[in-house]
Amino acid sequence: MRALDRMLVRDFRRLAAQALAIALVLACGVATLLISFGMHRALDETRTAYYERNEFADIFVQARRVPLSLLPEIAAIEGVRIAEPRIRASAVLDLPGRDKTAAGHLLSLPVTGLPQLNRPVLLSGRLPDPAMAGEVAVNAAFAKANGFLPGDRFEANLNGRKQALTITGLMASPEFVYTIGPGALMPDNAGFGIVWMPEATLAATHDMQGAFNDLALVLTRDAVPGRVIDALDRLLEPYGGMGAHDRSLQQSNAFVEAEILQLRTMSFIMPPIFFAISIFLVNMVINRIVALDRAEIGLLKALGYTNLEVAFHYIALAMLVALVGIGLGWAAGWYLSRALARLYAQFFDFPFLIFSTALDAYAVSGVLGLLTAGAGALASALRAAALPPAVAMQPPAPPHYRRGLIDRLLEVLRPSQPTMMILRSIIRWPLRSALTALGLSLAVAMLVASSFFQDALDEIVDLAFFQSWRQDAMVMFNRDMPETALSEIARLPGVMQVEGAQMHAVVLRHGYLEKQVGLEGRAPGTDLARVVDAEGRPVPMPPEGILLTERLADRLEARPGDLIEVEFMTGLRETHVLPVAGLVRQYFGLGAYMDMAALDRLFRRAPQITVANLMLDDARADAFHAAVKKTPAVAGTVMLTESRISFQDTIRQNVVIMTTVYVVIAVLITFGVSYNSARIQLSERARELASLRILGFTRAEVSYILMGETMLLALLAQPLGWFLGGWIAFASSRGFQSDLYTVPLVLNRSNFGIASLVVLGAAMAAALLVRRRLDRLDLVAVMKTRE
């Protein structure tokens, strides 16, 4: 083994503790990159493969009733490769052993068996036999949540007639990767299911013989989706077309796309922080090693070693540290990625999950880790290579200090001698002190950025469930009902208060911008379902005009007073120009609101409703559900209280996991920075501190000098950490915005206080660990050490 190789092994052993601290920080960056990149790719590739294998449609559209004779004209639209009609409906399900109502989304199966488009995967059992009345297949998640197997039975209210249904098979569909019921916020597999039944059965129960009300299209590669959508809307307008849309507005795909976007955002925000801190730590440690090895460097050069060999020695030392960090990061990333993949497989209803983190992900993370270490060591290695042998073998010249403004200020303040030593050490090495403070501030920033999610969750729940959607339940009808139906609903058991509302599909246009959204009509003075402004105050329904959610107004670049074009896909299917009467705040979806009476005037009809909002007596909930199951016109119910609890439990669990991970990461960063900083101080000032002990300073006073600098820098790092944490939280909040939901930026004082306490505590622990070495110093040996 060459002398340089032995020196490399010796230096690495000597730096074992410091190298581990650096490697752990670097491992966090490598693991985070692997997780975000790997899961992003896994979800994207799984979705792509699933869609391709099962012919997921490009265009979707619903209508009231379209004759099958129109199908040739639809297929003749330029750019359409496949057009497949079907029948869809909603039903209230009566499940054995479940007192509460459940909702079913009914879809027809063609006589040939499985459809061409959005083709379900038969996971177990068989397809329903069209010749056998009452046979159906259900989605596997619904069956699992209710303990159903092929052969089990339940009842459904099919357009006013109760019918017993027998499950013959369990299926999964690319159309329902994320299965969420109408009006719900989170998946409820026990209370909402997809039910496939033979086309003839569904057509007979819903008067759809020779017709369809749902259409899926696959386009040719050179097709222009916008033109196909426009042509399709023109054809279906006389038949109650609800407006065609592409995959981006398909509910399940939109949720999967939002999750992929979040993972992509995470891969751009988090890893660079860890790599930047690693560069600083490597630079700090290698720089000190070069200072300690001056005599050895001079001797090596005198013996004939080249500048390149000397420089490569110190870069190789940094690379060894990087290899440890990369290995730890790969192991952690491999394990956590698979654990996260299992969670995603449960959260999304994929029949398979393509998860095999490609070698290029490991290669990219490894190369970035090595480049990080190399960048940190490069300047110190070049400085070592530039040392002439004669100069290197002599002790370094004492640094030349000039008295500045800060020195004069210290003389006026007259701090104690130990405090003066701490302050002068920081002032004499400003760059190193600034970088140490920066590293600690990034740890604070990580905690501030992660803690805002909990406060954002509280803000979302408060606005959604306690200020806006205050009803206990929503009853949805399968057709427009006269307003007098509210009196019938009010007579159901347990109903204490009832309010009606209307739901309409509309296309809003402002200039060249347009957006297809749902518009809700509400009566003035409603108490159960309200809209609020940016200050949280209830906004009354304007007698004329339309209210827009803030994010929808941003999409349309519309402000109060602007005129927008509203094309209704329901009622008389007319287009009206309405003023924007105001903006309201909403975190779920993009919505618009109008006065219900104003809508009825536009449609020139008597007052009608499509939804009833209810306040219920909890003691009579079972009787209410039993009555709803027998009510013919009801298409389903949404229990808002249960939705709130489910939403809080699911999101809070994820927030707790995420916060724990961020705390661990912040502690690792703090420990890595503080421990290395304190170790370097001890190595630089060992002779000085030993002299103080000999002169009569107590251990506490000497420890104060060693630990004081670390803790003072940690304190100075707090304001910058708060600022960076707020910026990262803002970037995360913006990155998580989509048409489906938004995460508000909520930062409370407690966020900053807790972050600072954690970082200061970790810095203190690291400094105390180094202080133990101070107690074990051999004063005589240290004093004999050459400066």
* 407 occurs within a structural domain: no
Same domain, 271 and 324: yes
Range of the domain at 261: 1-54+257-397
SS3 content of the chain, % helix, strand, coil (to 5): 55, 20, 25
Work out the mean pLDDT of the chain and round it to a whole number. Answer: 82
Same domain, 120 and 214: yes
From 210, 226, 254, the end of a domain falls on 254
Q: Over pLDDT 70: what percentage of the chain? A: 89
CB 426 within 8 A of CB 713: yes
Candidate from 53-62, 259-268, 381-390, 429-438 with smallest mean pLDDT: 259-268
Q: Check residue 407 and give its pLDDT.
A: 62
Q: What H or E segment, with its residue span, contains residue 94?
A: strand 88-94
Q: Check residue 593 and give its pLDDT.
A: 92
Q: What average pLDDT does this structure show over 243-271?
A: 80
Q: Check residue 653 and give its pLDDT.
A: 67
From 224, 254, 284, the end of a domain falls on 254
Whether residue 787 has pLDDT greater than 60: no
The winner for highest mean pLDDT among 473-477, 597-601, 644-648 is 597-601
Same domain, 328 and 215: no
**Closest among 588, 590, 592 to 578, alpha carbons compared:** 592
pLDDT tens track for 259-279: 777 777 766 777 887 788 788
Same domain, 101 and 220: yes
Candidate from 191-195, 520-524, 741-745 with smallest mean pLDDT: 741-745
Name the strands in the sheet holding 59-67, side by side, starting at the edge strand that comes first in the sequence: 80-86, 211-219, 59-67, 245-246
> What's the total number of domains in the chain?
4
pLDDT tens track for 100-115: 888 889 999 998 888 9
Same domain, 315 and 389: yes
Q: What average pLDDT does this structure show over 655-679?
A: 74
Q: Check residue 684 and give its pLDDT.
A: 67
* 630 occurs within a structural domain: no
Alpha-carbon torsion, ordered 666, 669, 673, 678, to 10 deg: 70
513/659: higher pLDDT:
513
108/397: higher pLDDT:
108
pLDDT tens track for 511-558: 888 888 889 998 888 888 888 876 777 888 888 889 998 888 988 999
Q: How far apart are CA 340 and CA 346, in angstroms?
A: 10
Q: How far apart are CA 553 and CA 358, in angstroms?
A: 42
Q: Find residue 171's DSSP bridge partners.
A: 122, 139
Q: How far apart are CA 23 and CA 330, in angstroms?
A: 12
Same domain, 12 and 154: no
* 513 occurs within a structural domain: yes
Same domain, 654 and 545: no
Q: How far apart are CA 738 and CA 740, in angstroms?
A: 5
Same domain, 96 and 242: yes
Same domain, 305 and 431: no
Q: Over pLDDT 90: what percentage of the chain? A: 19
Candidate from 5-14, 362-371, 517-526 with smallest mean pLDDT: 5-14
How many CB atoms sit inside 10 A of residue 49's CB? Answer: 14
The winner for highest mean pLDDT among 88-102, 403-417, 422-436 is 88-102
**Closest among 641, 643, 636, 650 to 470, alpha carbons compared:** 641
Residue 55: which pLDDT band, with cuts at 50, 70 and 90?
very high
Candidate from 186-195, 410-419, 716-725, 776-785 with smallest mean pLDDT: 776-785
Q: What average pLDDT does this structure show over 447-467?
A: 79
From 199, 232, 254, the end of a domain falls on 254
Candidate from 40-44, 541-545, 616-620 with smallest mean pLDDT: 40-44
Same domain, 333 and 449: no
Q: What average pLDDT does this structure show over 576-583?
A: 91
Same domain, 88 and 24: no
88/7: higher pLDDT:
88
Burial (Cβ within 10 Å: 0-12, 13-18, ≥19) of residue 467: middle
Q: How far is CA 495 from CA 160, 434, 645, 681, in A?
A: 22, 65, 21, 72
Q: What average pLDDT does this structure show over 35-40?
A: 76
How many CB atoms sit inside 10 A of residue 9's CB? Answer: 13
Whether residue 785 has pLDDT greater than 60: no
Residue 84: which pLDDT band, with cuts at 50, 70 and 90?
very high
Same domain, 306 and 392: yes
How many CB atoms sit inside 10 A of residue 413's CB? Answer: 10
